[in-house]
Amino acid sequence: MGRQRSRIERFETEQLGEFLRPLDLRQVEQRRCVTGLDSHGALLRRSTRTGTVGLDAASNVAALMASRLAATVQRSVMAAAAMTLGLYTSVHAASAFPAFQAHSQNKEEFFRSFVAAAVERTRHTVRYDPAYVRIPYPGGDVPASTVVCTDEVIRAYRAIGVDLQKEIHEDMLAHRGAYPRKWAVARANGDGTDTNIDHRRVPNLMAFFTRKGQSLPLSAQAGEYHPGDLVTWDLGGGITHIGIVVDPKSPESGRNMIVHNVGAGPRMEDVLFNWKIIGHYRYCPERPLR
């Protein structure tokens, strides 16, 4: 009976050793796991000598190793999740940059188109006529052969899909106090606005570009005025004027030229500092143009 029990104990110990050996070789947790095996191996050896080792001891060690392995797997999963989150963040941050870049490129394209439309206006022969004219709304315009300075700006914007008549009227209705009231008497629309002429007045354009675009510094440095910018001047005697900065530069001064109409039709001239500058703006609509 004693010999049979001894054979059973040797068999159990050998089986437990086979169970422990692959886990030790894999080194699931190199230092912590091996240290655990060593301590429990010593316990098993002591228990074997006292004849108390059996399936319970093996089960205890197996449970310990399962716990160690589960902890290792949990840490691995957490590390993988962290890596996935990092990759997700990197991918989405990278995808956000092209979106910003595309927005910047769209603005650049807008100003290039606006400048091209302004320069194209210099090919038209028109007559300067400040008369009040009833026009449709929206998309209304005075006869193509007649203009004032603001009409050159209105037509350049309209050529690329921006209707300043509509944009200014809607903003005036929503923010009437932001616009001059000197023309508010007997308005054609009965609400203090007039879609026939509000958008054709320089002070109203100045108020609109300040609210909806960028109001830029009034600099004495020509390099601060970029293609696509709008400049307003005081000509004296209560007369205001507006023009568009374009790409071509003056061969004499090196300054960007201005497309404007001060009475002789649309011209591209080096007149940036010819009069007192009272406004400097940049306007690109937020919503799609077409």
Contact 258, 270 (CB under 8 A): yes
Output the pLDDT for position 29: 40
Task: Give the Cβ contact number of residue 35 at 10 Å.
Answer: 11
pTM, two decimals, is 0.65
What residues does each domain of the chain span? 2-86, 122-282
DSSP helix/strand/coil, 182: coil
Output the pLDDT for position 188: 67
Give the gyration radius of the chain's Cα atoms: 41
Output the pLDDT for position 182: 85
| Cα(152)–Cα(140) distance, integer angstroms | 14
CA angle 168–171–173, rounded 5-degree value: 110
Output the pLDDT for position 191: 81
Indicate the residue type of 57: A
| Cα(199)–Cα(218) distance, integer angstroms | 23
Output the pLDDT for position 287: 65
| Cα(66)–Cα(199) distance, integer angstroms | 79
Task: Going residue by residue through the chain, which has 290 residues, state the pLDDT in tens, using 9 for 90 and above.
Answer: 555 445 544 544 454 444 334 444 344 344 443 333 333 343 333 333 434 334 444 444 445 445 554 555 455 545 544 454 444 334 343 333 344 455 567 999 999 999 999 999 999 999 999 999 999 999 999 999 999 999 999 999 999 999 999 999 999 999 999 999 888 655 567 788 999 999 999 999 999 999 999 999 999 999 999 999 999 999 999 999 999 999 999 999 999 999 999 999 999 999 999 999 999 999 999 864 54
Tell me phi and psi for residue 82, to 5 degrees.
-60, -40
- Residue the block writes with tokens 């609400």: 191
Output the pLDDT for position 199: 98
Output the pLDDT for position 79: 52
Q: Give the closest residue to 21 by CA, choosing from 53, 51, 65, 63.
A: 65
CA angle 172–177–180, rounded 5-degree value: 80
Give the C-alpha distances (Å, rounded to integers) separating 288 from 56, 100, 158, 159, 257. Answer: 75, 15, 13, 14, 28
Output the pLDDT for position 64: 47
Contact 266, 259 (CB under 8 A): yes
| Cα(231)–Cα(256) distance, integer angstroms | 12
- Residue the block writes with tokens 């104990």: 9
